[in-house]
Chain A
Amino acid sequence: MLLASIWYGSLSLAAFSLLIMFYLIVRRLVTDFFERRYAARRERTKLLMFGLINEEITPEAVRRRLRPRDQKFLLEISGQLRRGLKGEPEDKLVSLLNDVVDVDIISRELRKGTAAERAALCAELSWSSNPVVHQALRDRLDDSEADVVLAAANALLESGAGLSLHGFALKVVKNKMLGHRGVRDLFRKLAPQQVQELRRLVRLNIEEVGVLAADALARCGDISVIPDLNEQVKSNPFKNVRAECLRSLGELRHPDGEDAVLYGLEDQAWEVRTQAAIAAGRIGTQDLVPLLKELLQEERWWVQFRAAEALSRLGDIGRSALQRATQDVRSARVAELALAQSET
């Protein structure tokens, strides 16, 4: 029985797969034909769009001539056009889109299709100021796919609809999206408007959120956040948050960060000491030279190297400290490398 079923089962599967494959070949012949029609429809929508921009045709006429399924083409084409337009032409295009796009159809489309299609549609709606579209995008913030959530959040942000960083952070934690680079970018984009919220988030007891908030604080364009970063370098229990705060202090390059850098250079975690050394080089205070010299004796190569790099940036005092370090067996290689690299 088993043996016979192997023979007949295999034969049936092989025959079935061949049948499917022949069906797919025939389908390809047919779809190639429809692809051409699809391309023609897309081209027709594009011409309508150009006619609209050149005021050769009215929005009402366009609405009449567009079929419901052409709405997605319209958004796709306008998305491509908007990338090349800025200022007045872009405003004009947006106002025309407001006239011709059927928001009800689009809102329905946002709930359908694959994740990639939903994400693409969200991304194409960043121009819309329509509350119905905004609500449809907000609904997508609860989507199960990270790409759709991020596309919706970005579209809301770009359209000026507003997005609460706190609410978004909660969704990100709930959907386990904290490791996504898109979340980091969104935090950065939101930073200038939501500094207070970032200050609160950096203190939160969730390491990944703290890292994202610390990173975003460097992009908020406000040096009043330096005391917050300093405080976190000294007191935050998570090494990655401390390291991120030091990275942000390095990016801000403000001398008020020196105190925290000094603290960071003596941190227990080597990752934090490495970031502190980088920040020291960026802030450029020569008071840190003695501590950086000590780091040249470190066991961890990256700490040694970043300390040497920082010294090479700290003017004559730093460079002469490096020159002396080339005589020491433990620090000779990194010192020579940092000096050579600073010359090339």
Chain B
Amino acid sequence: MNALDRVSDLTAQAFRIIETWLLSIWDVMQHYVMSMSSFIPDEWALVFAVTVAWLILINGILLNGTYFLQLVLAHRALRRRGHIPDPLEAWWRLHEQTVPISLLVPAYAEEATIVESVRSLLGLHYPNFEIIVINDGSPDGTLEKLLSAFECAQTSRAYEEAVEHEPIRGIYASERYPRLIVVDKENGGKADALNAGINIARCPLVCAVDADSILESDALLRAVQPFVEDMDKVVAVGGTIRIANGCTIQNGRVLKIDLPKDVLSTFQIVEYLRAFLMARLGWSELGAMMLISGAFGIFKRSILLDVGGYTRNTVGEDMEVIVKIHRHLGEIDDDYVMRFLPEPVCWTEAPSRLKDMASQRKRWERGSLETFFRHRSMFGKRKYGLAGTVGYLNILITDVIGPPLEVLGYITMPILYAFGLLNLDFFLAYLALTFVFGVFLSVGSLILEEMELKRYPKPWHLLVLTYAAVLENFGYRQLNNWWRILGWWEFMRGKTGWGKITRTGFK
């Protein structure tokens, strides 16, 4: 399939999504207008219209202003970074100065992929690391597969019960693979499994890795550099997550980078560029990073012990632990640094079905809301520094009030304009903030990618991604906001648990 075919295919798929979305909005609008217009007096309608319109517009200005700031900061960070492009050269230059790392790999019902994942991790280019796979009471044959594939036998390992978790049933080690430890424990969820791993770990740094993700062979070597530069101040480092759909993967390694064939995964590539290259890097530069992805983050073990490990029974344990660290270090008035690096890359499989993606996005929204409300007392307090002010404000406008106001805007602004309650300038400003500015931000992230990282090898990859960066603002982003509203709803109803996502697996 050539580039033009790919572009026309993407267009057709995108239009189908937009069409579905517009039809459903139209249904809601019709119902809304019919029910309201009969009994609201004109002057009330005007006050309502002006209030809602300004609320939505101010939210849009704040949101887009924040994104613009992130883009500028991210650009500055990328320009200043010291990068060694060649992996072999990176090894020669960096391998002598490393800090031992315990990789924590929580595994639940990963029977199909766990052996391949662990083999891939064992092949990482890093001089001193151990892999602790924590079988979180999987109902399938995850443990048996691990034990037989790596010839593990039961062993004893001294550890302190420093953070809470469900009981450990056994610890296994392999003579053939001395770096590998397998922990079998009662089921308690991802956070609980990570806590068990933190207790078992013996290295000063721990790295949480998802069992279904792929770390690039030099990812640890690059990610550990902030710790090498200042072990006293740096408490956590996050790496970039990229979408592996469409890439050629063999033996747990990404051999060839390519684009996926479906439009949903292509949009997610652009979305991840915005989330990581723009948002995380921007906030990291400012010192207000509030999230390190659960798929790949390195922490100083001592700081995790100080905050009592991951909070159990939460779906957003990755965000929660970062906010908890900010809170703890703010309370003891410690000088610390959290960094995000664009270079160490972890590849992950993005959901390619709408149903799976909806489940994932609702869970992410619930996770953000849980964290926001759990630590709301941090908001605006000077002792928490930029995390308590800028960082928390960012969560408020992007995750808490942002989605409801955006969706409210999709419904009310066209109606208000149609009824003559808004003038054209106002309506155009709204459209600019909702759709047009998004194009600038998405393409801006892609510009950063191409100027500084150049991960996509072919010029036609860039063409397709530019196209996707424009299109995703007309339908895809709105659909995301709708799922986030559903996440809000689930949060208010007290829903817990992760939900099931079907993955096709790396091919």
Chain A positions within 8 Å of B, measured between CB atoms, are 2-4, 6-7, 9-11, 13-14, 16-18, 20-22, 24-25, 28-29, 32, 83, 114-116, 119-120, 123, 145-147, 177, 179-182, 185, 301-302, 305, 309, 334, 337-338, 340-341, 344
Q: A17-B439, A185-B96 are in contact. Are A11 and B446 (CB under 8 A)?
A: no
Contact call B462/A180, Cβ cutoff below 8 A: no
Contact call A181/B228, Cβ cutoff below 8 A: yes
A-B contact pairs, 20 of them (CB 8 A): A3-B429, A6-B61, A7-B432, A7-B436, A11-B432, A11-B436, A13-B437, A14-B440, A17-B443, A18-B466, A21-B450, A32-B459, A116-B83, A119-B82, A119-B93, A120-B84, A120-B93, A177-B229, A301-B160, A341-B158
Mostly helix, strand, loop or mixed at chain A's interface? helix
Q: A17-B444, A182-B97 are in contact. Are A341 and B429 (CB under 8 A)?
A: no
Most buried by A among B93, B158, B228: B158
Contact call A181/B156, Cβ cutoff below 8 A: no
Complex Cα–Cα for A53 and B312 (A): 63
Contact call A181/B428, Cβ cutoff below 8 A: no
Contact with A along B231-258 (1 / 0, CB 8 A): 1110000000000000000000000000
Complex Cα–Cα for A309 and B428 (A): 72
Q: List, in ascending order, chain B residues with CB within 8 A of A22's CB.
A: 466
Complex Cα–Cα for A253 and B440 (A): 64
Contact call A24/B451, Cβ cutoff below 8 A: yes
In the complex, residue of chain A having the shortest beta-carbon distance to the beta carbon of B64: A10
Q: A24-B450, A28-B450, A116-B82 are in contact. Are A14 and B459 (CB under 8 A)?
A: no
Distance to closest chain B CB from A304 (angstroms):
9
- Chain B, interface size category, equals 35 or more
B162 at the interface (CB under 8 A from A): yes
Distance to closest chain A CB from B217 (angstroms):
19
Q: Which of A147, A181, A337 contacts B158 (CB 8 A)?
A: A337
Distance to closest chain A CB from B305 (angstroms):
11
Chain B positions within 8 Å of A, measured between CB atoms, are 61, 81-84, 89, 92-93, 96-99, 155-160, 162, 173, 227-233, 425-426, 428-429, 431-433, 436-437, 439-440, 443-444, 446-447, 450-451, 454, 459, 462-463, 466, 469-470
Distance to closest chain B CB from A147 (angstroms):
6
In the complex, residue of chain B having the shortest beta-carbon distance to the beta carbon of A340: B156
In addition to A7-B436, A305-B158, 10 A-B residue pairs with Cβ atoms within 8 Å of each other are: A6-B428, A16-B440, A21-B446, A24-B451, A28-B454, A114-B82, A116-B84, A123-B93, A181-B231, A341-B156
In the complex, residue of chain B having the shortest beta-carbon distance to the beta carbon of A28: B459
In the complex, residue of chain A having the shortest beta-carbon distance to the beta carbon of B432: A10
Q: Nearest 9 A-B pairs (CB), nearest first?
A: A179-B230, A10-B432, A337-B158, A340-B156, A116-B82, A17-B443, A3-B429, A13-B440, A3-B425
In the complex, residue of chain A having the shortest beta-carbon distance to the beta carbon of B460: A25
In the complex, residue of chain B having the shortest beta-carbon distance to the beta carbon of A186: B97
Complex Cα–Cα for A114 and B65 (A): 30
Contact call B429/A7, Cβ cutoff below 8 A: yes
Q: List, in ascending order, chain B residues with CB within 8 A of A2's CB.
A: 429
Contact call A179/B232, Cβ cutoff below 8 A: yes
Contact call B459/A7, Cβ cutoff below 8 A: no
Q: List, in ascending order, chain A residues with CB within 8 A of B463's CB.
A: 25
Complex Cα–Cα for A146 and B92 (A): 18
In the complex, residue of chain A having the shortest beta-carbon distance to the beta carbon of B232: A179
Contact call B447/A180, Cβ cutoff below 8 A: no
Contact call B228/A182, Cβ cutoff below 8 A: yes
